Chain A
Amino acid sequence: LAKTTQPISMDSYEGQEVNITCSHNNIATNDYITWYQQFPSQGPRFIIQGYKTKVTNEVASLFIPADRKSSTLSLPRVSLSDTAVYYCLVGDISGSARQLTFGSGTQLTVLP
């Protein structure tokens, strides 16, 4: 399983764009990159997933360079309610056996 490294914490202000970068130097060919959001005492919530280049949905964008050794989650115009822990996961989602491993995550604090 590819190990991921992301900042422990980040602060931002309301209305700003936030970019959280995750390093995954030993990502394997079959690995996808997935980001989750978790609020205190709640289960993680799927945000976005990608394999290469750029993926965008109504919540966030995910940028993945050609070498796939890192990825950046971009949250546009954050609000106070975006304060949460964000996890970057890398794992092989092919086959029926799954074992997505959560790292320590990034605590994002959005300030007024």
Chain B
Amino acid sequence: DSGVTQTPKHLITATGQRVTLRCSPRSGDLSVYWYQQSLDQGLQFLIQYYNGEERAKGNILERFSAQQFPDLHSELNLSSLELGDSALYFCASSADPRTDSYGYTFGSGTRLTVV
């Protein structure tokens, strides 16, 4: 157990639907990162939050959004889902990135299947 908790582990939904993925970071970690991993795209950075604020944005689609709440958990919202959104979605956390140089801790991921 890495200490980063992601729910649900598996999700099957239809095209056009909206889903929410949840991530609880490791205790004490202030930063949360979301990654998408599909077979043809590898691990793609989506977005980073630090202590409730968005800090870095990667290849996140406009149909996707995220937020980090005061208790530091984060949610990734995916809407108007398409077949191509089927992927593993990973959340990672790190301590204060201004001082932490030991990398991220990843959760076990949510496998999203859009049918």
Residues of A bordering B, CB below 8 Å:
32, 34, 36, 41-46, 49, 87, 93-105
Contact = CB atoms under 8 A, between A and B. Distances in A.
B106 A44 contact: yes
Given A43-B2, A43-B108, A97 B56 contact: yes
B25 interface: no
A100 B101 CA distance: 12
Nearest to A94: B98
Nearest to A103: B42
Contacts of B55: 96-98
7 contacts: A43-B92, A43-B108, A96-B31, A97-B55, A98-B33, A99-B45, A102-B44
Contacts, number: 70
The number of chain B residues touching the other chain, given as a range, is 20 to 34
A98 B106 contact: no
B50 to A, nearest CB: 5
A48 B56 CA distance: 23
Contacts of A44: 43, 90, 92, 104, 106
Given A95-B98, A98-B97, A103-B42, A34 B103 contact: yes
Contacts of A34: 103
A99 to B, nearest CB: 5
A45 B90 CA distance: 12
